[in-house]
Structure 1
Amino acid sequence: MPRPSRRADVCATAARLFREYGYSSATMDLIADEIGLNKGTLYHYYPSKSAILYELLSKQVDGTLEFIAKVPSEGTATERMRELVRLQVEHVSGKHDEVVVFFQELPWIEKHLEPAQAADLRRRVRKYEHFSKQLMTAGVRSGEFRPIDVGMIMPSIVGILAYVPVWFRAATGKAQAALVQELTDFVMYGILTPALAAAEPLSAAEGGRLPAAGRGRSPKQTSSS
C-alpha cells in the first residue's frame, strides 16, 4: 500500500519554523530534520522552500476571501462589517503559526517568491482591501460610522487581528468564543458613531469581559486548544 502523504505535516512544520526562525533562516534541511524526512522526500512534496511559502500565504489570503463571500450582501453597513470582523477574529484566534507567518512574510514576497506568485498574492490581497474599504466607506456615508479616515483605520484593524495569534491560546472553546465577541465589539465600537455605539448590545460573554483563561497571557502561559 502507498504511504500516506505527509504534505500537510510538511506545511505545518514549515509554518512553525518560518515563524520561529524567519523564512530566510529556516532551511529545507531544517524542515526535513524536524519532520523526520530525508531531503529527497521533502522535495517530492515541494520543489522548493518558496513553494511552501507560497502555499502557506495563498491559503491564508484565500481563507480571507472566503469570509468576504460569507458577508451578507443585504443589511446595514454595521451588520455587514460586524460579520466580516467576527469571521476574521474567529479565524485568527484559532490559527497560530500560519497567520503569524502570513503577516511576517507578506512584506517580503517580492524578494522570496517568483514575480508571478508575488503579483498573484498582491492581487488577492487588494481584493480584500477593496471590499473592506468600500464597506467602511458605505458606513461613513450612511452615517453609521464616524467620519474616519478609511485608509488609516483599515490597516489598524488588520494590525489588531494580526497580533491575536501572537499572544492568544484558547484554554477552552468558551475562552475563544469570548475573545471573538470581545474583540469584535472593540473594533466595532471604535468606528461606530457614538449614538449607534451606545445602542449596540454588549458581548454576552461574562458581561463583556474576557474570561481569565484567555486574557493577557502569553502563548507559553495558556494551553493549546
Structure 2
Amino acid sequence: MDLLADTVGLNKGTLYHYYPSKSAILYELMSDQVDATLDLLGRVPRTGAAADRMRALIRLQVEHVATKQDELVVFFQELPWVEQHLDEEQAVDLRRRIDRYEKFTRQLLSAGVRAGEFRELNLNMVMYSIIGILAYVPNWFRAGGRKAQETLVDELTDFVMNGILRR
C-alpha cells in the first residue's frame, strides 16, 4: 500500500477514500486484466483455419503481456489465492470470466486437433503451458523498443505454434 500510495502521489490513508480495502484494489486490478484478455478473444478471427486463429490469439496475448509488466506480475502472483484474498462474490466473478478464456482456448485447440492441423494434445496441459509462458514474460521482458517487442511476439508465437502443429 505504501508503494502504491507513493506511485500515485497520495498518502496511504487517502487511498482508502477511493478504495474501501486492499482487496478492492486487488479485485479491480485483476478484473481489468481479465477484461483485457477477454477483449483479445474478440479480436481473434471467428472463422478460418484453427492454426491461423491460434496464431492470432498467441500473438495478441504476447503483445499484451509484453506491455503490462507490473499489473500482470501481480495478477499471476495473486491468481492462486483469489479465494483467500477476495470476497466470495469477487472470486467467483473472476473465476467465471477466466473460465470463458480457458473454454475458448480449449475449443480452439480441440478444433485444430479435429481438423488435423494440431497433433494429438492434452488440451489442459497445453493450455496451462501457454498460460505459464505468458505469465512469466512480464517478469523478465523489458522492451528495448518496438523491434524488441516484435521479436518477442514472433519468437514466442513460433515457439508455441511449433509445439502444437502437426508435422
| Shared fold, TM over 0.5 | yes
Q: Using the alignment, how far apart are the partners of 2:67 and 2:7 within structure 1? A: 23
Aligned positions, number: 167
Question: Measured at CA, do residues 71 and 34 of structure 1 come closer, stay the same or move farther in structure 2, by a change above 3 Å?
Answer: closer
Which residue number corresponds to residue 102 of structure 1? 75
Q: Using the alignment, how far apart are the partners of 1:34 and 1:105 within structure 2? A: 20
Question: Which residue of 29, 54, 60 maps to 2:27?
Answer: 54
Letter in 2 for 1:87: L
Answering whether residue 116 of structure 2 is matched by residue 143 of structure 1, we say: yes
- Superposed displacement of residue 42, structure 1: 1.3
Question: Measured at CA, do residues 30 and 181 of structure 1 come closer, stay the same or move farther in structure 2, by a change above 3 Å?
Answer: closer
Question: Measured at CA, do residues 117 and 171 of structure 1 come closer, stay the same or move farther in structure 2, by a change above 3 Å?
Answer: same
Which residue number corresponds to residue 164 of structure 2? 191
Tell me the alpha carbon deviations over residues 179-219 of structure 1, each in whole angstroms, 9 at most, x when there is no partner.
1011101100110011xxxxxxxxxxxxxxxxxxxxxxxxx
Which residue number corresponds to residue 123 of structure 1? 96
Which residue number corresponds to residue 180 of structure 1? 153
- Superposed displacement of residue 30, structure 1: 5.2
Corresponding residue SS for 2:108:
helix
Letter in 2 for 1:64: T
- Superposed displacement of residue 40, structure 1: 3.6
Q: Using the alignment, how far apart are the partners of 2:140 and 2:103 within structure 1? A: 29
Q: Using the alignment, how far apart are the partners of 1:86 and 1:191 within structure 2? A: 15
Question: Measured at CA, do residues 35 and 66 of structure 1 come closer, stay the same or move farther in structure 2, by a change above 3 Å?
Answer: closer
Answering whether residue 54 of structure 2 is matched by residue 81 of structure 1, we say: yes
Question: Measured at CA, do residues 62 and 160 of structure 1 come closer, stay the same or move farther in structure 2, by a change above 3 Å?
Answer: same
Which residue number corresponds to residue 155 of structure 1? 128
Question: Measured at CA, do residues 93 and 33 of structure 1 come closer, stay the same or move farther in structure 2, by a change above 3 Å?
Answer: closer
Corresponding residue SS for 2:42:
helix
Corresponding residue SS for 2:142:
coil
Corresponding residue SS for 1:156:
helix
Spell out structure 1 runs of 4+ moving beyond 6 A.
none
Q: Using the alignment, how far apart are the partners of 1:136 and 1:159 within structure 2? A: 16
Q: Using the alignment, how far apart are the partners of 2:6 and 2:73 within structure 1? A: 22
- Superposed displacement of residue 29, structure 1: 4.7
Of structures 1 and 2, the one scoring higher in RCO (CA 8 A, sep 6+) is 2
More helix per residue: 1 or 2?
Answer: 2
Determine which structure has more spread, i.e. the larger CA radius of gyration: 1
Alignment RMSD: 1.3
Structure 1, unaligned runs of 5 or more? 1-27, 195-225
Answering whether residue 43 of structure 2 is matched by residue 70 of structure 1, we say: yes
Question: Measured at CA, do residues 56 and 143 of structure 1 come closer, stay the same or move farther in structure 2, by a change above 3 Å?
Answer: same
